[in-house]
Chains A and B, each alone.
Chain A
Amino acid sequence: MFNLNNPRFVGWSNYRTIITDPGFPRLLWNTFVWIACSVAFQFLFGLILALLLAKPFPGRGLYMGLVFYPWALSGFAIGLLWSWLLNGQFGIVNDILMRLGLIKVPIGFLSDERFAMFSVILVNVWYGIPFFAIMILAAIQSIPNELYEAAQIDGAGLFRKLFYVTLPYIRPTIYSTILLRIIWVMNFPDIIYGMTRGGPAGATNILSVNMINIVYYRNNFGLASALGMIITAILLVFAIIYLVLLERGEFEL
């Protein structure tokens, strides 16, 4: 690993610098919270959306176009857009909440440590729901109608149909989509970078954002590369889980 300003071999020094940094445990924790909350809520709302869109209703095409729209935008642009929407002074979100009488003073969504991580996750959830919805919807539409008819004859209600027909049938899609999303969300600094750059005071700093900050502020490509390798190593764990599940046939119907 080298520094462009002074290229030389430094051995494991960059890895040591990252791991022994007092802020490293917090970075890992933030990354975990970011992935766990983002993926869990993206899945939950994606599933609900897919179930709602599974049956035809008037204007479904238009509705689908609207809800899938965020997925077509760039993550960085979304980050910048939401940084203005959630701005404590000029943001439209605060304005609406105040007009509705829900709050008296503006909330510092991105400047208050208590809200910053919540806000970036919220935007990421909004951004990622369409992907889950598209994947799950495609899987739901492939479920043979006979299964539902058989369940109906056996007297199954709405929830029984969901838990005994729909979810088991689309399980392979759910597994593979969740694993893919974990990998993508971990590697996805765009929204956080556009909204907070990891601040305030590191409250929203995750591994991939920190990697950009190292290059942006310090121009230290060696240190950033080492962090990149650490991220790759963590992702490797998920890749192995994916391969093991694949091997066990968990992704097959």
Chain B
Amino acid sequence: MKKLAIVSLVLLFCVVGLSEQVTLRIIQVFTSPLRTRVLEDIISKFEAQNPGVKIELISPPYETAYQKIYLMVSAEEPLDIVEVGDWSLSALASMGKLLSLEPYLAKSELTKHLVPGVLEAARTYKGTAYLLPNAIYVKTLFYRPDVISKYGIKPPAKTMDELLEHCRQLTKPEIGQFGFDFRGKGYPTAFIDIVMTSFFDDIDPNCMYLKKDGTLIFEDPRALEGLKFYIELFKTAPKDSINWGFDEQVNSFASGITPYLFQDPDTVGLLNEIMKEGTYKTAPLPIGKGGKAYPTIGFAGWGITSYSKHKDLAWKFLEFFNSPEINAYWCRDYGALPVDMRVYEIDPYFKSEIFYGWTAMFEDEVHYQFTKYPLDNEAWSEWNELHETTMQQVLLGKMKPEEALKVWADFWKKAGLGKK
């Protein structure tokens, strides 16, 4: 009888214990095997620290991830934490299904340690933070000293003119050697803009497509000069690259076919897996005729759904994810730049030579002015499709650069950007 009572009591505790288990559902966007492995590891660490909490990770293929999120949140399907990238933040936040994180940020210790500009970037939509960035992305120049020096050239190129010159010298189609690692599809916008805006010295720090006087850059003769330069650069890339996205770019760089590449820090994680140490380096983006280069700070992070039943617990996970140790682990393995200042102190990896390109740009305020895309403009997503198609037409000689610039200027004027 006594035994039966004890067993019943244990069973009762088990049932009560089980019923108290809370499940958080997370969906990621930038799914890849390497990234999922790191994410799952972080999740299991959080679960170990929080008994009774179970985290379900949803990992749709990258190509369809946002569509899945839009449909899930619009139907208020069970989802607590949503990954959001900078280019889609406004579109998602405007649906009204993301929770404002401002009350949490106001109370959190974490806020004090964020890299300057990160919180401002998170407030892209209506000045409210609807996500907590967990990594930042800035494009820099990747180069292969081993390949470039074979042709008697001393890398890296410091100016755009030098880059073009180097790339021209490197380009020998008969032996499959080219200079510039070009991107023609899958959001090539950022690559075109880095080159085109480097011909300016008066870009608005708050909008890459505006000059400081508030007018659009596309109507300025310097934009035409920059675009023509970009076409010249394309001539030093394999023609096939008009059909290249991220995968082809990384492959081409790693194989040495195109030893000059503009890319984000998440390329580091991938290159470290497939290339030997020291075979590639990074340098600041080359500066253009305007005497400057205009990088943008990209970011991705976690948001909480406004209808989540476990908002506080979800925030606890976000804080855990951005704690210095976890953020260091996340950014190191995945290859992005940490958002917490403390990470740069505790982890010497982020001071290593491979990060030279970024640290040099961050420290040189004279030549590197960070700017932003008009991500809060409703026309932004449509812009990417138009920009890609028109640019491909320009590169194939089916559209004159002047025509493309007019199409772009008209597009942004219609979208309310710049003085009409």
User: Which residues from chain A sit less than 8 Å from chain B, CB to CB?
Assistant: 4-6, 83, 87-90, 105-106, 108, 110-113, 196-197, 199-202, 213, 215-221
Contact = CB atoms under 8 A, between A and B. Distances in A.
Contacts of A113: 396
Contact of A219 (B66, B185, B255): B66
Contact of A201 (B186, B378, B398): B398
Interface residues of B, number: 38
Contacts of A213: 385
B377 interface: no
Contacts of A202: 389, 392-393
A89 B381 contact: no
A220 B66 CA distance: 12
19 contacts: A4-B74, A5-B95, A88-B238, A89-B241, A89-B248, A89-B252, A106-B240, A199-B185, A200-B392, A200-B396, A201-B396, A201-B398, A213-B385, A215-B67, A216-B63, A219-B66, A219-B67, A219-B381, A220-B381
Contact of A5 (B91, B239, B388, B393): B91
B381 A199 contact: no
A59 to B, nearest CB: 38
Interface in B27-81: 63, 66-67, 70, 74
Contacts of B176: 89, 106
A202 B382 CA distance: 15
Contacts, number: 86
B256 to A, nearest CB: 11
A87 B173 CA distance: 15
B174 interface: yes
B316 to A, nearest CB: 29
A196 B248 CA distance: 13
Interface string B360-392: 000000000000000000100110110011001
Contact of A197 (B174, B185, B393): B185
Nearest to A224: B67
Q: Looking at B94, B243, B382, which has the most chain A CB atoms within 10 Å of its CB? A: B243
A58 to B, nearest CB: 43
B184 interface: yes
Contacts of B173: 105
A89 B392 contact: no
A199 B242 contact: yes
Interface in B216-272: 238-243, 248, 251-252, 255, 257
Q: Which 6 A-B pairs have the closest CB atoms?
A: A88-B240, A217-B385, A201-B392, A111-B243, A201-B393, A111-B240
Given A111-B242, A200-B243, 16 more contacts: A5-B378, A87-B240, A89-B252, A105-B173, A106-B176, A108-B239, A108-B240, A111-B241, A197-B186, A201-B392, A202-B389, A217-B382, A219-B66, A219-B70, A220-B381, A221-B70
A249 to B, nearest CB: 44
Contact of B95 (A4, A106, A196): A4
A14 B420 CA distance: 26
Contacts of B63: 216
A112 B176 CA distance: 18
A105 B240 CA distance: 12
Interface string B291-315: 0000000000000000000000000
Nearest to B382: A218
Interface of B: 63, 66-67, 70, 74, 88, 91, 94-95, 173-174, 176, 184-186, 238-243, 248, 251-252, 255, 257, 378, 381-382, 384-385, 388-389, 392-393, 395-396, 398
B381 A218 contact: yes
A197 B185 CA distance: 8
A219 B89 CA distance: 12
A218 B94 contact: no
Contacts of A112: 239
A217 B383 CA distance: 9
Given A4-B95, A217-B382, A218-B381, A199 B70 contact: no
A199 B242 CA distance: 9
Contacts of A215: 67
B94 A6 contact: yes
Contacts of A221: 70
Contacts of A201: 389, 392-393, 395-396, 398
A197 B66 CA distance: 17
A17 to B, nearest CB: 11
B26 to A, nearest CB: 21
A83 B174 CA distance: 22
Contact of B240 (A4, A6, A89, A219): A89
A111 B389 contact: no
B94 A89 contact: no
B242 A89 contact: no
Contact of B381 (A90, A106, A110, A217): A217
Contacts of A105: 173-174
A229 to B, nearest CB: 19
B67 A90 contact: no
A122 B285 CA distance: 41
A213 B185 CA distance: 12
Nearest to A193: B63
A199 B66 contact: no
A82 to B, nearest CB: 12
B396 A90 contact: no
Contacts of B74: 4
Contacts of B385: 213, 217-218
B259 to A, nearest CB: 14
B415 to A, nearest CB: 13
Contacts of A218: 381-382, 385
Contacts of B238: 88-89
A199 B239 contact: no
Contacts of B257: 89
Contacts of A219: 66-67, 70, 88, 91, 381
A114 B176 CA distance: 22
A200 B184 contact: yes
A196 B242 CA distance: 10
B184 A87 contact: no
